[in-house]
Structure 1
Amino acid sequence: MAVSRVQDGKRLKRSVYHRLRKEAEAAQPKIEAKATAKYLRISPKKARSVINAIRGKNVDEALQILMFSPKKAARLTYKVLVSAIANAENNFGLNADDLYVAEVYVNDGPRMKRLWPRGRGRADILLKRMSHITVVVRDRQKEKELKSQK
C-alpha cells in the first residue's frame, strides 16, 4: 500500500506524508531482518569470493558453507549471518528454519594509508582496505503468503 503525496487534489505537507508512509510501512508484516558489520579489516575483493557462495541459500546451508571454509572472510561473514538470524528471531518473531539469505553484499570501508619504504629514500603508499558486510535474511513462508495474497 503506497502513500501518495497528493490526496484530494491537495499536496500533503512533508511531515504528514512521512508520518503516513511510516504508519503504512509499520502495518506491513515483517518478513526480513538485517545485520551489518562495519570496519572489518579485510579487503572487499577477498570477502566477495565468500559471500557469493552463500547468496540465495537456506540459512542452515549457508552456515555450513561458512563454518567449513578456511578463509578469514568466512569467519567474519559467519558472525554477521548469525547476528541477522538472531535479529529475525528476537526482533520480528520469524522462524529460523524458514529463513534464507536474500541479500548479502560487501561495501568498501575507509582505507588506512601506510608508508612502504623503497630504494633511494623513496616511499610508496600501502592501502590497508576495510569492508562493511551486510546480510539480509528473509522468511520464505511469509514471503509466499504475501505473494499469494496479492
Structure 2
Amino acid sequence: MTNYTNESHAIAKYVRMSATKSRRVLKQIQGKNYYEARLTLEFMPYKVSKIIIKVLESALNNLKQIQTDTIDNKKITITNAFADKGPTLKRFQPRAQGRAFPIHKQTCHITIKIKK
C-alpha cells in the first residue's frame, strides 16, 4: 500500500507556449530538490520559467495542504515534470493579392509532481 500524503502535483493548462520549449526547461529541473530547482528557474532567460515557478509553488502548497507536520523545502524532490501538447489556436495573416497565411499558436499543459 502506497502513502499518497507524501506526494503532490500541480497542472497548468492552456499555457501559451509550445510544448517543446516547455520541455527544454522542465528537463533541467527534473530530479532536483525544490530549492535547487527554484533557484535554477529564477535565473533562466526563458519566458516559460515564470510559469513553471508558479506551477512548482502550487504543487508545494498542495503538499502543505495534505501534510500535518512542517515541510523542509530542501528535502522535497521533483519526481516528474512534463509538458503535454494542448489545442492549437489557428489564426490567419493577410498577404498580398488577397491570400491568407496560416499562423498556428501552440499551447501546452504543464504538470509537475513532487515528493517529500
TM-score in terms of structure 1 length: 0.70
Q: Aligned with 1:98: secondary structure? A: coil
Question: Aligned-pair RMSD on alpha carbons?
Answer: 1.6
Indicate the structure with greater helix content: 1
How many residues are treated as equivalent by the alignment? 114
Q: Pick the aligned partner of 1:60 from 20, 28, 35.
A: 35
The answer to whether residue 100 in structure 2 is matched with residue 100 in structure 1 is no
Contact 2:29 2:37 in 1 (8 A): yes
Range that drifts further, 96-105 or 58-67? 96-105
Letter in 2 for 1:134: T
After superposing on structure 2, the runs of 4+ consecutive aligned residues of structure 1 that deviate more than 6 Å are: none
CA deviations over 1:57-84 (Å, ceiling 9, x no partner):
0110000000111211111101000110
Range that drifts further, 45-54 or 28-37? 28-37
Q: Which has the larger radius of gyration?
A: 1
Tell me the distance in 2 between the aligned counterparts of 1:76 and 1:84.
13
Structure with higher RCO (Cα < 8 A, 6+ apart) = 2
The answer to whether residue 59 in structure 2 is matched with residue 84 in structure 1 is yes
Alignment gaps of 5+ in structure 2: none
- Cα separation, partners in 2 of 1:117 and 1:78, compared to 1, 3 Å: same
Q: Pick the aligned partner of 1:119 from 90, 93, 96.
A: 96
Partner of 1:135: 112
Alignment gaps of 5+ in structure 1: 2-24, 140-150
